[in-house]
Chains A and B, each alone.
Chain A
Amino acid sequence: MPRRIVAGIQSVGHRVIDSIWRLGYASRFFLLTLIKSGTSLHRFTLVIRELYFTGVQSLIIILVSGLFVGMVLGLQGFETLQRYGAESAVGTMVALSLLRELGPVVSALLFASRAGSAITAEIGLMKATEQLAAMEMMAVDPIARVVAPRFWAGVISMPLLAALFSAIGVYGGYLVAVILIGVDEGSFWSQMQGAVDFRYDVVNGIIKTCVFGIAVTAIAVFEGYDAAPTAEGVSGATTRTVVTSSLAILGLDFILTSFMFRGMG
């Protein structure tokens, strides 16, 4: 019996040590990526290529989702606000929900499952087929040549995608509230503009998306680079990217929100 207890404690200790080691390894990898970013910035065409794959190819899902989320917000907002006779505030509700929470969070979740998983799978596959080893043997650093451009493309794409998501979401709300239901157009926009503060709401939303973008892409490139070089390894890493980055997005969102909007508005 004591032996089993010892074994239990050992397995707990093993897991703790293992996860701390992995965290340290991931941080070191993240730092290396930043240090070796010179090539990507110097040869920006590398980043442009990845911008196409992470940014442009995520456009459809982001735009369609944004439109529908905005439309649903318009519908639900009208439904609720109507009871208090405040249906003209529906624009305010749509805009604030999108700018502060839904825009950054939902677009980051979509980005993680669309672009993040693709980045992990691509890098993992390059590792499994020895492309990274071949690059290393050609005296080209895979972190500088493969990882860093994808990282920066993700970091650049994320705020742009989130802005598109929020902007089209606001128009989705406008479509439902003003065009379909018939809320007064003037008060829709003016109430929105009266309540939305650029520094406070828009900039904070952008800061959130930047943080999410860094987190998601860092997780995606790390999982890809760290994947076991087999088919199972790559598929496992892809799943881990989506799960870990979704949890990271929601956790970071709580932390950032509590700092940004504490006791205000």
Chain B
Amino acid sequence: MVSESLIEIEGLNFSYGQRPILKGIDMTMERGKVIAIMGGSGSGKTTLLRLIGGAVRPTSGYVKVAGEVVHKLKRDDLFRMRRKMSMLFQFGALFTDLSVFDNVAFQMREHTDLPESMIRDLVLMKLQAVGLRGAHELMPTQLSGGMARRVALARSIALDPLLIMYDEPFTGLDPISLTVIGNLIRRLTDALGMTSIVVTHDVQESLKIVDYVYFIADGVIAAHGTPDEVRRSVAPFVHQFVHGEEDGPVSFHYPAKPYAQDLKLEGSFA
């Protein structure tokens, strides 16, 4: 528990049936940092988050959170550990049948015996932190995408977790909301002394706020470094990704038979 790193991942393999998703991932994540995991769509980033949260079991290797191997925990211990981490889902995943206030209060009511007056104060504090104290009576359907994401952020810091995982927090937001969310992630991480893992493919926004970046491609770590190192990097993959080029190590074409062969043209050329 004294170690600086909150999360240690070693030799992590995961496959869905026969299809390997992650192939030998090693990572360490220090406390108090914002770490980005980037990669193309379908590269296994979200799976990595699910492995850290204990939602799925690795095929081999392990994930250690605060010194405990996640997949070896019993259900009760896993649930106890999950109270120290929280996850912000892609579109917020607010409970649609509860008001904004009740959404933020959800975990406090489920996991603590705090009196209602104290819950009220805490919820308003959390909502204040994301600038939505005035919206506490609204229902999730009345919120815009950016506001819903902020409420979800307030909900995920409800029990002051050690670790927050963000699954694509920037998807589908306008530029203003995007900056707001990005800055909130940074500010809250510093203010509450948490660790944040941001899974994203929004390069420019995340490079502004993170401390360290991992690139995942085809189930392996293709590159890693601080934002400055990443920007200067000449590694072909990182360059392609950061600058959003169409073709490069990540090919435009899905793997296929040779074109001529597929069109049954080889006879006429031979």
What is the interface of chain A, defined by CB distance below 8 A to chain B?
122, 125-126, 129-131, 133-141, 145
Contacts and interface: CB of A to CB of B under 8 A. Distances in A.
A229 to B, nearest CB: 11
A129 B106 CA distance: 17
Contact of A133 (B55, B85, B96, B110): B55
Contact of B82 (A125, A126, A137): A137
A136 B94 contact: no
A139 B89 contact: no
B86 interface: yes
B110 A140 contact: yes
B75 to A, nearest CB: 9
B110 A137 contact: no
B110 A129 contact: no
Interface in B65-95: 78-80, 82-83, 85-87, 89-91, 93-95
A137 B106 contact: no
Nearest to A122: B97
B86 A131 contact: no
A129 B97 CA distance: 12
B87 A134 contact: yes
B89 A130 contact: yes
Given A138-B110, A139-B111, A133 B79 contact: no
A187 B79 CA distance: 65
Contacts of A126: 95-96
Given A125-B96, A139-B80, A139-B111, A130 B90 contact: yes
Closest 9 CB pairs of A and B: A139-B82, A134-B93, A130-B93, A139-B79, A137-B87, A130-B89, A139-B83, A140-B110, A131-B93
A183 B94 CA distance: 59
Nearest to A53: B97
Nearest to B88: A134
Contacts of A130: 89-91, 93
A131 B106 contact: no
A137 B96 contact: no
29 contacts: A122-B97, A125-B96, A129-B91, A129-B93, A129-B96, A130-B89, A130-B91, A130-B93, A131-B93, A133-B55, A133-B89, A134-B87, A134-B89, A134-B93, A136-B55, A137-B53, A137-B55, A137-B82, A137-B86, A137-B87, A138-B86, A138-B107, A139-B78, A139-B79, A139-B83, A139-B111, A140-B110, A141-B79, A145-B110
Contacts of B86: 137-138
A140 B94 CA distance: 14
Given A139-B79, A139-B82, A133 B93 contact: yes
B87 to A, nearest CB: 4
A115 to B, nearest CB: 15
A195 B222 CA distance: 82
Contacts of B93: 129-131, 133-134
A51 to B, nearest CB: 14
B242 to A, nearest CB: 29
Interface in B94-137: 94-97, 106-107, 110-111
Contacts of A122: 97
B85 to A, nearest CB: 8
Contacts of B53: 137
A125 B53 CA distance: 22
Interface string B11-30: 00000000000000000000
Given A130-B91, A140-B106, 18 more contacts: A125-B96, A129-B91, A130-B89, A130-B90, A130-B93, A133-B55, A134-B87, A134-B89, A134-B93, A134-B95, A137-B53, A137-B82, A137-B87, A138-B82, A138-B83, A138-B86, A139-B80, A140-B111
A135 B93 CA distance: 9
Contacts of A131: 93-96
Nearest to B81: A139
A191 B93 CA distance: 59
A133 B94 CA distance: 11
B42 to A, nearest CB: 17
B141 to A, nearest CB: 11
A153 B110 CA distance: 20
Interface string B43-79: 0000000000101000000000000000000000011
Contacts of B91: 129-130
Contacts of A140: 106-107, 110-111
Contacts of A137: 53, 55, 82, 85-87
Contacts of B87: 134, 137
Given A130-B89, A133-B55, A138 B96 contact: no
